[in-house]
Structure 1
Amino acid sequence: MNKISRGEFLKLGSLSLLGALVSDAVFANDRFFSAAAVKVDSDLMKKLVSANDAKVKKILLQVVDSNIRLSTFRSLAADIAVMSASISYSASEFYKSKVVVDRLSQAADAMLNVQYSDGTVDAGGNRQSPPDTAFVLEYICSAATVLRENKQKDLDQVKEKLKKFIQNAGEAMITGGVHTPNHRWVVSAALANINSLYPDVRYVQRIDQWLAEGVYINQDGHYSERSGIYSAVIDKALITMARLLNRPELLKMVQKNLITTYYYTEPNGDLVTVDSKRQDQFMDITVTKFYLQYRYMAIHTGNPLFAYMVKLIEKSPDFDKYILQDSLVEFMGDPELQQQIPVSSNVENDFEKFFVLSNLARIRRGKTSITLFGGNDKPVLIASGRSSNPNFLMYRKGDAILKYMRLSSSFFRMGYFSGEGIEKVGNKYILKETKEADYYQPLAPEFRKADGDYQLSESKDGRFWNKMDFDNRIASNVKKQTTVIEIEENNGALSLDFKVDGPPNVEITIEMCFKEGTEIAGATQGEKGNYFLKSGTAQLSMGTDAIQIGPGICEHQNVSNLDSEEYTYHQGTLRTDGVHVYITGFTPFHHKMTIS
């Protein structure tokens, strides 16, 4: 059978795609699709077209102002991509629509109006931002790619406008800088896209300059930011470069990260992000935005785990919002994505994985899913690029969800426990932390100043700043508090052993936050809707699923200001929505309990 040309493939409507075949030569190196004929997933294509058209209808109802002031232009660029897909796809009700042509022209004008002379656009607080322009280019280049195959004459002006925007932005991509690790690869992917449309050796030279720095991925399968959001971004960027620049070696890193992401995925598609070094360490996100990456890699590697993830994401509640509404243009730009993906049941769904460098353990036993974490960056600082989430245990049994467990101490108001790594000894996971607080002696004569005007400096224990010249003072009366938490898992049940030692009579609080709407039995409600497990066990239920915790102890009910002064000084808090249950005591504190 002859190969289907790129242009012919894009013109095929969803009905004509039924039974369409792609030459096996295209996939000669792919174990998954080594058969002579590969079928298109026509049901998925119909859904993509329908969702894309529905979004076009919403776009057409909006009023377009070419002089509009927006804080970010990704949504406008995404609209251009969505409309370009519908007008170019023969099964779309907007195929060759003159109304869409007019709206595309208006949107292209709006993009050109906000583009600076250096080729950049603004994004929120980032002014004239090369990396944010690269994110915009992802959509604009996708639009230009599908429109290139569309011979509709009244689109010529739109194509020229998009070409002007892309080539202007290309100059910014060649010379512009970045902020974060993932930006390097987003910019490089944008350059690869531009080069595929309008080849220029300078684009590839700039890509090589960034790639020469090396793409960091560790043995755990994490990129440097250890972020679910930005791992999806990097995976997509590396796939783009591998595909358009013929650099398949980049896919090895994608494969490694996607395997790790599988183990970080909850049965319902939620993604574990507690160890992220970016904003998603405190966010609830799903694995859905990895869909195109898993689909591409399932096709190119034959890994049944990737195929499993494709099917899992397709069943997720947010699949329509994040994939179906925006991805038709991706499937048109890379027709390989349209292939059917068989489902393999040979997937590991009962496991225990310890990610040593991340100090994170993931355990799955049937309906029970467990996460243990002890890998904050030290010292704990509140800043983008650093891990600071104090959640050390998360536990799920079906719909019953313990969102997190934390431990806080009133020891010098230094806040939550933050593990100094995880040590695995036999079947136990051991988390430890030592907190230390100082007092300070008078300055030696040679450091004294008659006017008392000393250097503004940070205390040696890092708790505060003052004009006290701490560097030249001797610390004394040093107080230490040590915390050891031992956790042992047995068929989904956890045995926990808490030991906190140091100065006596320090308040200790074990905080458990369950998902909103959880029903509770066995605990006593106190002020502000908080619950205290004074003794015995409690059951936390959601639907037909339940988690048992206990025994409890309650020696105080002071559960305000559990955060460190870094938060409370600014009236901030890490407390989240949910059903909060507390176990409390005083040092020396030794308590054993189970979660099952």
Structure 2
Amino acid sequence: MPSTFTSHAAGLAEQLLTELEAAGPLTARGHRVTMAGVRAALVAHLSPASPRYGDPGVLDTALRWTAELAALADEAGLFSSDGNISSPPDSSFSLNDLGSALTLLEQADPAEPRLAQLRERLTAVASAALPALVAGAVHTPNHRWEIASALARLQHLHPAARERAEEWLAEGVDVDADGIYSERSPNYAAYVSNPCLLTLADLLGRPELAAVVHRNLHAVLALTDDDGLVETVLSRRQDQHAGFPVNAFSLQLRRFALLDGCPTCAAAAARREWWTAMPVQGVEALAEALLDPRLDRDVPPGDVVPAPQGRRVFGSAGLVVERRGSVRTVVYGGSDVPALGRVCSGAAVNPTFLRLRAGAAVLRSVRLSRTFFGLGPFRGTLVDPGDEDALVLRESVAAGYSQPLPASARRADGVYELGFEGRYAAAMSFPERARDELRLETEVQVEHTADGLRLGWSITGAAAPWALELCFDPGGELAGVEPLDPTGGHLLAEGWGSYRCGGDVIEFGPGRPAEPGVPVGYSPGEAYTFLGGTDALPGPRVYVVGRAPGRWHLDLRPRPA
């Protein structure tokens, strides 16, 4: 009898297969979906837990989709997706699934003609792609492990595949002492880096790679909140603006629970609400159970492990997570914008620097917006956090005005070099000009008090307006604040406000009256607005406003029921 989890996985796999069968030809959905369908059909035929176990008809489906997959390959044998043309890393996602399918076929009944035909066709697709894959290059850090994993799976088909995989690995895995990858993204850890490094550990005999994944999983659990969402404010990828479900790590947690006996991973893997809900991971779970029957077991349920109390510092990411009872605080000072001088893809740019949770009452984001040359909100750097000390974030930004060109740099035709000044571009020969600079120095301090948190901030330099934004989760009730607009904005003009969700409350104050000429609201900065974009948050928001220079504070009092 399959385990309860394997039966759950079989239901997910059947869900995927049913959806894809109803979709008609899969070519319009791209190579990754097409290859996922091939593997899902094969696994359904091979797994005793599947309702299609032994069904020859599902192999006919796999063969049809394999023909569609082959038709999507270009003359180099590679695939294209999302604008990435003839892409080695994008192709590797499908080739990893293909390599997994070939491994399953090696253990399947050689007398079944459809299985033999499927093996032949998949081998042809892989063989066509391997020369380009062996020579191919990447875009992002995780692509190295995706390509290396595909090469390791297919090493029996190309003499240089293993050597190339080891060449990528020779760069060293981009993980810090806390177990966080350089992209800081739970999405890419769950779906790329962790599964690929585990494959490489198994196929190349590199147990230290599995140890990296294990360390990452412990970091992920430390970053997971009471709703099962992994903290993403530190991420350098697309997931930095939304929570990420911890159940995406379900299969990896099960592996270390069942094969290594890790009690931390076991406590997480046993939680039914944290089991994977993704159909494609259901296919993966069935494939893993076929290749290693030790994984076709349930993790024994144990006592629910309480969330760890105290402070956890993720130093290189500039993140501190602290829990006191049912109150959870996240302080973040790891933005890449101060170092890069710009907002861009692949950088940590989220300006949220504080979160606070008291049971069901969730202050999802605190941001400090400034009206200062369109440079955007405060993105501070965490300064030497201790075990119990107040947490300090600092930022220095500057803008200025350009003086006339010196006589030696003037041109009679008035045509000057186009350049980027640091904030905007113009044909002004900026390097030749002296600059009058204005600076804004901001320090934010978060410290625990007897009844909650004190958030203090000081701004020196230019007389810039500022707005502190508190953004709460939808579903609760605000009190003591003045509505500003129908989009959820409010002003705390005096006294204390509160946010209540059920019996849980977060109180905040004191407020400040709005001053003439001080905008009440959030400004994302020119990096967004000149494109008509924004990173503003939806939902109920409260503002406290003022004008620099000066020093201010706001107390936050969590009151869980």
TM over 0.5: yes
Question: Which residue in the other structure is 1:467 paired with?
Answer: 427
From 353, 371, 378, the counterpart of 1:410? 371
Looking at structure 2, the residues matched to 317 and 524 of structure 1 have their Cα atoms a distance apart, in angstroms, of 43
* Matched residue, 2:395: 433
Q: Pick the aligned partner of 1:499 from 449, 454, 458.
A: 458
Structure 2, unmatched stretches of 5+, are none
Q: Partners in 1 of 2:553 and 2:286 — Cα distance?
A: 54
**Within the alignment, does 1:171 sit opposite 2:131 as a pair?**
yes
- Structure-1 separation of matches of 2:301 and 2:519: 52
Q: Does 1:261 align with 2:220?
A: yes
Cα deviation, residue 490, structure 1: 4.8
Shift of residue 119, structure 1, vs aligned partner:
1.9
Local SS of the residue matching 1:85: helix
- Does the CA contact (< 8 Å) of 1:115 and 1:121 recur in 2? yes
Match of 1:214 among 147, 172, 190: 172
Q: 1:51 to 1:480 in 2, by over 3 A?
A: closer
What is the aligned counterpart of 1:282 among 229, 241, 252? 241
What is the SS of the residue equivalent to 2:447?
strand
User: 1:31 is matched with which residue?
Assistant: none
Q: Is the 8 A contact 2:225 2:231 kept in 1?
A: yes
| CA distance in 1 between partners of 2:299 and 2:497 (Å) | 45
Q: Is the Cα contact below 8 Å between 1:289 and 1:322 reproduced in 2?
A: no
Deviation at 1:563, TM superposition (A): 1.5
- Cα distance in 2 for residues equivalent to 1:298 and 1:492: 39
Which residues in structure 2 correspond to 1:193-342 (within 5 Å)?
193-195=153-155, 198=156, 200-232=158-190, 233-312=192-271, 314-316=272-274, 319=277, 321=279, 323-324=281-282, 327-342=285-300
Tell me the distance in 1 between the aligned counterparts of 2:391 and 2:275.
34
Task: Give the secondary-structure state (helix, strand or coil) at the position aligned to 1:305.
Answer: helix
1:298 is displaced (CA, Å) by: 2.5
Identity of aligned residues (%): 31
Deviations 1:323-349 (A, max 9, x none): 436532233233332233345556662
- Could you list the per-position Cα deviations for residues 286-327 of structure 1 after superposition, in whole angstroms to 9, with x for gaps in the alignment? 122222222222334332211122234x41486355643653
- Does 1:535 pair with 2:494? yes
Please tell me the residue identity of whatever aligns with 2:434. I
Which of 391, 411, 414 aligns to 1:449? It is: 411
Deviates more, 1:95-104 or 1:327-336: 327-336
Q: Quick one: which amino acid aligns to residue 455 of structure 1?
A: E
Q: Does the Cα contact within 8 Å between 1:78 and 1:326 map onto a contact in 2?
A: no
Residue number among 411, 420, 445 corresponding to 1:458 in the alignment? 420
Instruction: Letter of the 1:474 partner, please give it.
Output: A
Q: Give distance in 2, aligned partners of 1:492 and 1:105.
A: 65
Name 2:52's counterpart in structure 1. Answer: 94
* Corresponding residue SS for 2:470: strand
1:104 is the counterpart of 2:66: no
Which residue in 2 is equivalent to 1:481? 440
1:59-70 correspondence runs (5 A):
59-64=20-25, 68-70=27-29
Q: What letter matches 1:471 in structure 2? A: P
Among 48, 51, 72, which residue is 1:114 paired with? 72
Structure 1: 5+ residue stretches without partners: 1-14, 18-41
Q: Note the alpha carbon deviations across 1:375-420, whole angstroms, 9 max, x for none.
A: 1122342222222111111122233222211001112222200103
**Structure-to-structure mapping, 1:542-557, within 5 angstroms:** 542-556=501-515
CA shift for structure 1 position 129: 0.7
CA contact (8 A) 2:373 2:399 kept: yes
**Equivalences, count:** 547
In structure 1, C-alpha distance between the alignment counterparts of 2:152 and 2:70, rounded to whole Å: 21
Relative to structure 1, the CA distance from residue 540 to residue 193 in structure 2 (aligned partners, 3 Å threshold; closer, same or farther) is same
| TM-score of the superposed pair, with normalisation by structure 1 | 0.87
The alpha carbon displacement at 1:136 in A equals: 0.9
**1:85 counterpart residue number:** 43
Partner secondary structure for residue 442 of structure 1:
coil
Output the CA distance in 1 between the equivalents of 2:475 and 2:332: 25
Partner SS, residue 16 of structure 2 = helix
Q: Does 2:320 correspond to 1:361?
A: yes
Structural mapping, 1:150-165, within 5 Å: 150-151=108-109, 152-165=112-125
TM-aligned CA deviation for residue 509 of structure 1: 0.2
What is aligned with 1:133? 91
Corresponding residue of 2:532: 571
Q: Segments of 4+ in structure 1 off by > 6 A?
A: none
